[in-house]
Chain A
């Protein structure tokens, strides 16, 4: 990462923090772990070079399937 990239990265992080994606929003992370499911961000690698069916996308679709 060169100096310009570093500055852009810091600008983005600072912007995100000021917008609210900082310590104050950390409670949202506990929701994903506690109420949505501990494997909310879990993944399965592609099999046979084909499409990957990630756990969370699959979970989402499985739930929507009730429609």
Chain B
């Protein structure tokens, strides 16, 4: 495996990940979803989303919907929406954690199992972070990292499939469907639709490899 850019490295001259084409785009979609679910989009990101074109494919249709929603909102409105959905007064409208969806409780056994698998992959959270690893954004970033081989050792599709099956596939579509129909969601309905379609594609694609 080719080396990836280090933290200190200059990305513009760093070796490019050997992962290209459809597989690379999978990582980009995971990162986009992770970014949108960890924080509200900046004005710059919203403008980029607004400039995207959809197409007739399932993902292209969802992407076109997201672009349309980005054109129809403002950074301030999306930021307010994000707070109501995910932060709220003590608790947001949605709880974007695998353990909540899988066991009905936060910080329950599914999180412990995930932590075991992350330790095996030598992935750890940064210090002073209060969010558990089963946050939807964290899991999307882990998948992106596995796809591009960012965690060293170069795990391939088998490792991705194992992570997806154990920690994403069984609940993330439900979460995105909830986001798609959340009472307080507007722009984020389209994020939910994109995520739901993308995770369904992922689940199917893993059966073909």
Smallest beta-carbon distance B13→chain A, Å: 11
9 residue pairs bridging A and B, Cβ less than 8 Å apart:
A24-B60, A27-B53, A28-B29, A31-B45, A35-B42, A41-B144, A42-B5, A52-B152, A64-B137
Complex Cα–Cα for A50 and B4 (A): 19
Whole-angstrom distance between the Cβ of B140 and the nearest chain A Cβ: 9
**Are B21 and A13 neighbours in the complex by a CB distance under 8 Å?**
yes
Chain B residues with a Cβ closer than 8 Å to the other chain, count: 71
B residues 118-151 touching A (CB-CB < 8 Å): 119, 122-126, 128-131, 135, 137-138, 141-142, 144-145, 148-151
Q: A51-67: which residues lie under 8 A (CB-CB) from chain B?
A: 51-58, 60-65, 67
Please give 16 more A-B residue pairs, beta carbons under 8 A apart, in addition to A20-B60, A22-B22, A30-B48. Answer: A15-B205, A19-B59, A20-B58, A22-B57, A27-B51, A27-B52, A29-B24, A29-B25, A31-B45, A42-B9, A43-B151, A44-B7, A45-B152, A56-B145, A60-B34, A63-B39
Interfacial residues of chain B within 55-73, with CB under 8 A of chain A in the complex: 55, 57-63
Give the bracket for the number of chain A residues in contact with chain B.
35 or more
Minimum CB–CB distance from A22 to chain B (whole Å) comes to 7
Give A5-57 interface residues, CB cut-off 8 Å to B: 8-9, 11-13, 15-22, 24-32, 34-36, 38-46, 50-57
